[in-house]
Amino acid sequence: MSSLKELKTQLRGEALGRRDALDPAWRIEAALQVADRGAPALSFSPGTIISGFLPIRSEIDLRPLMARLAERGARLCLPVVLDRETIVFRELVRGAEMVSTGFGTSGPGPEAAVLDPEIMLMPLAAFDRRGHRLGYGAGHYDRAIDRLHQRGLKPHLIGIAFDCQEVERVPNEPHDVMLAEILTEQGLRRFAAAG
């Protein structure tokens, strides 16, 4: 029997392989579907701080959705890798210079305000129908969520993925934080068990 780590590595590789195989032109259409279906489905008040992300590799492109959320009054931020262990969320404002922020990503520079997201749109490698996510293995989001929880903050967690990244079951451990929702090109799904 393989170890939990080996099983996660296998599931991650299979799900990312399916994602990588998606036609690039279709991925553009899927990003527009995520914006069309996700923007009206997400409930928040103007001024709510929402973290998104810019796509790397074959990730879904959230820029259409983030633009729609900004039009509804969201205050946007992006993750920035400070070191191998820590990410913070810097405010994304129109016209601000974007800089390299680690792991092939770009985002607002050090002059941008650091914000605490109330809603986190999270990239992932795989997810299951229970609301468990499998990240890329570095643990950046897990540590960021833990730091927010230690300060008494409970961000609403929404995974962002293509439908093809769903797996039968993500192996989970007691410390794993479940997603409240997942947004794919097919729409927003809520997970009752996430609380």
The pLDDT averaged over each successive group of 10 residues in the chain (195 residues) is 84 97 97 97 97 94 97 96 87 91 83 97 96 90 94 97 97 85 96 66
Look at residue 193 in the predicted model and tell me its pLDDT: 61
Is 92 known as a binding-site position?
no
Could you please report the per-residue DSSP string of 7-67? Answer: HHHHHHHHHHHHHHTS-HHHHHHHHHHHHHHHHHH----TT-EEE-----TT----HHHHH
The string over 159-178, giving b where at least 16 C-beta atoms fall within 10 Å of a residue's C-beta and e elsewhere, is: bbbbebbbbeebebeeeebb
**DSSP 3-state assignment of 134?**
strand
Is 132 known as a binding-site position?
no
Q: Which residue has 């609380």 as its token pair?
A: 195
Contacts of 111 (CB under 8 A, 6+ apart): none
Is 30 known as a binding-site position?
no
Look at residue 184 in the predicted model and tell me its pLDDT: 98
Look at residue 145 in the predicted model and tell me its pLDDT: 95
Look at residue 194 in the predicted model and tell me its pLDDT: 54
Residue 75 near residue 91 (C-beta atoms within 8 A): yes
Is 109 known as a binding-site position?
no
Question: How many separate helices (H) and strands (E) can be counted in the chain?
Answer: 4, 12
Is 95 known as a binding-site position?
no
Q: What is the CATH number of domain 4-194?
A: 3.40.50.10420
Is 10 known as a binding-site position?
yes
Helix H or strand E encompassing 121: strand 119-123
Rounded to two decimals, the pTM is 0.94
Is 140 known as a binding-site position?
yes
Nearest Cα neighbor of 150 from 185, 177, 170, 130 is: 177
Look at residue 83 in the predicted model and tell me its pLDDT: 81
Is 52 known as a binding-site position?
no
List the structure tokens of 145.
């969520």
Kindly list the domain boundaries of the chain, sorted by start residue: 4-194
Contacts of 166 (CB under 8 A, 6+ apart): 15, 126, 127, 128, 129
List the structure tokens of 116.
């605490």
Look at residue 84 in the predicted model and tell me its pLDDT: 76
Look at residue 58 in the predicted model and tell me its pLDDT: 95
Look at residue 15 in the predicted model and tell me its pLDDT: 97
Look at residue 170 in the predicted model and tell me its pLDDT: 95
Helix H or strand E encompassing 6: helix 4-20
Nearest Cα neighbor of 123 from 138, 141, 105 is: 141
